[in-house]
Amino acid sequence: MKFIIRAMYLTALLTFSSLAQQVSLDRVAVIVDQGVILESEIEALVTEVKRNAQNEEQTLPADRVLRTQAIERLILKSLQMQMAERMGIQVSDPQLEQTIGNIAQGQGIGMDQLRAELNKEGISYDDYREDVREELIVGEVRRANVRRRIYITPQEINSLVELMDEQGAEQAEYQLGHILIGLPSEPSEEVIEDARSRAEKVLDLLNNGSDFARIAITSSSGSEALEGGNMGWLNINSMPTLFAEAVQGKETGELIGPIRSGAGFHILKIKDTRGIEKVTVEEVNARHILIKPSIILSEEKAKQMLSNFRQQVIDGDAEFSALAKEHSDDPGSALKGGKLGWADPNMYVPAFKEALANLEPGEYSKPIRSTHGWHLIQLEDRRLDDATDKRKEDKASQLIYSRKFKEEAEAWIREMRDAAYIEVL
């Protein structure tokens, strides 16, 4: 297989050899299964990391080390994008524009200002759009493949609910730094000992004052290596069990490890801790009309239909419930006049959830695009739900799922990486 794939790329290169004297072709740097990584992609990612580090006033290791980490990240992205193509996962242009609009809104700026900020950073808007599209696709591929590996037992939920009751429904959060000295799927004893030795050397460097972020970028096999190993803020119950047990009782600034897992040897740093988290959850009561584009009904016409419905309702010329019953493509809510009832907004797809977050009670959204189609949404009301038994169980299930998702995602990525054909040219 290796020789066949390489022969294909050599043939392609020879085909264009006659043009090489006139045109400077982008060099293939890595072969990844049925895809390739170009030299320009590696250079672009390294440049982005350097730009971000400069903005954060963060020191970086040598270019050679940055290049190695960049190649690894691009390999994982290529494998997941190839899998997305096989699975038929796509992100439409309307869905993409909706997401970018939400990103800009979340930063408190308009689209023109977002474009200006990108231009100031030397990033073209078209490149930015495609980066966001790829992030959405990779996220969906990961969710689709990892969630089927997760099983949560009733006993796990009950145990966590009891623990939360003992702690008064309050949980500290930790901002963790993470360095992983990785292991292959079936390592030999020699490989394990070598990894253990490297992990201990890394810990010695950190104890002697070396910068954690720089060491993470240089040495870590973790998915957050290029972010300096920053895992962000994690609730004690949402982080991997191994980490949760290790951080309890530790203080800000402490180093922990090396800790052995199936993925390798982990070194943690407690960068900060904060407050407590209450189980109280905001619920929303909403209704919607869903229009699904088809061969007969274009994206633009579906969107225009909902714009017309919105104006009719606002002008008092039509009833929302009547329009939902007649036109909505969501059979479950259409019969109830579009009513969805009280629900945790986290149960909705991202675009729908984000639209609800920006509405006041009684207000109608503009037409928004989600993976299901085009929606016209009315937020009827909000309320804070107290910590009932059902809510505690839901919260416990979400925390366990989040923790297991992180653990299984690492394992899935490692297995996918080990099974792939990869050749650095």
- The 10s digit of each residue's pLDDT in 372-394 is 899 999 999 998 765 456 677 87
**pLDDT tier for residue 106 given thresholds of 50, 70 and 90:** confident
Mark whether 138 and 57 lie in a shared domain. Answer: yes
Q: Is residue 251 part of a domain?
A: yes
Average pLDDT over residues 106-122: 84
Helices (H) and strands (E) in the chain, counts: 15, 11
Which pLDDT belongs to residue 310?
A: 95
Q: How confident is the model at residue 167 (pLDDT cuts 50, 70, 90)?
A: low
Q: Are residues 136 and 66 in the same domain?
A: yes
* Average pLDDT value for the chain: 83
Q: Which residues, in sequence order, are CB contacts of 244 under 8 Å at separation 6+?
A: 236, 237, 403
pLDDT grade, residue 25 (50/70/90)? low
Both 160 and 286 in one domain: the answer is no
User: Do 67 and 113 belong together in one domain?
Assistant: yes
- What pLDDT, on the 0 to 100 scale, is given for residue 304? 94
Residues 300 and 406 in one domain: no
Asked if residue 98 is part of any domain, the answer here is yes
CATH number at residue 61: 1.10.4030.10
Higher pLDDT, residue 108 or 12: 108
Out of 28-37, 159-168, 208-217, 270-279, pick the least confident: 270-279
* pLDDT value for 6: 39
Same domain, 141 and 160: no
* Predicted local confidence at residue 386, as pLDDT: 59
- Let me know whether 36 and 141 are in one domain: yes
pTM of the model: 0.52
Work out whether strand 230-235 and strand 368-370 pair parallel, antiparallel, or are unpaired.
unpaired
Closest CA to 351 of 44, 168, 95, 118: 95
Instruction: Please tell me whether residues 344 and 406 are part of one structural domain.
Output: no
Q: Is the peptide bond before 258 cis (omega within 30 degrees of 0)?
A: yes
Do 327 and 223 have their domain in common? no
Taking the C-alpha atoms of residue 163 and residue 263, their distance in angstroms, rounded to an integer, is: 28
Across 237-260, average pLDDT? 85
13 part of a folded domain: no
Distance (Å, whole) CA 238 – CA 252:
19
Residue 10 lies in a domain: no
pLDDT over 90 at 324, yes or no: yes
What is the Cα gyration radius of the chain? 25
Which domain-ending residue is among 147, 173, 192?
147
User: Do 296 and 263 share a structural domain?
Assistant: no
Let me know if residue 1 belongs to a domain.
Answer: no
Whether residue 201 is found in the same domain as residue 329 = no
- Residue 199 CA, distance from chain mean position: 27
> Is residue 3 pLDDT above 60, yes or no?
no
Whether residue 360 has pLDDT greater than 60: yes
Structure tokens at 146: 């990892």
Model confidence band, residue 290 (pLDDT cutoffs 50, 70, 90): very high
* Residue 206, amino acid: L
Looking at the structure, tell me whether residues 68 and 110 fall in a common domain: yes
Whole-angstrom Cα distance, residue 75 to residue 374? 35
**pLDDT tier at 276 (50, 70, 90 boundaries)?**
very low
Question: Is the pLDDT assigned to residue 182 strictly greater than 60?
Answer: yes
State pLDDT tens for residues 51-74: 888 877 777 878 888 888 888 889
Q: Which of 223-227, 248-252, 352-356 is least confident?
A: 248-252
The pLDDT, as a whole number, for residue 171 is 60
Pairing of strands 28-32, 230-235: unpaired
Q: Which pLDDT does position 392 carry in this prediction? A: 74
Question: Is residue 339 pLDDT above 50, yes or no?
Answer: yes
The answer to the question of residue 17 being in a domain is no
Q: Which of 105, 122, 147 is the last residue of a domain?
A: 147
pLDDT score recorded for residue 179: 92
* Residue 48 lies in domain: 27-147
> Would you put residue 122 in left (φ > 0), alpha (ψ -120 to 50) or beta?
left
Q: What is the mean pLDDT of residues 282-308?
A: 92
Residue 260 covered by a domain: yes
pLDDT computed for residue 160 by the predictor = 85
- Domain-terminating residue out of 129, 147, 165: 147
- Per the structure, how many domains does the chain have? 3
- Full DSSP string of 283-309: EEEEEEEEE---SSS-HHHHHHHHHHH
Within a domain: 20:
no
pLDDT at 301: 93
User: Tokens in use for 262?
Assistant: 């199936």
Question: Does residue 24 carry a pLDDT above 80?
Answer: no
Residue 383 to residue 148: CA distance in whole angstroms:
33
Task: Give the pLDDT of residue 280.
Answer: 60
Can you give the CATH number for the domain in which 236 is found?
3.10.50.40
Report how far Cα 117 is from the mean position of its chain's Cα atoms: 23
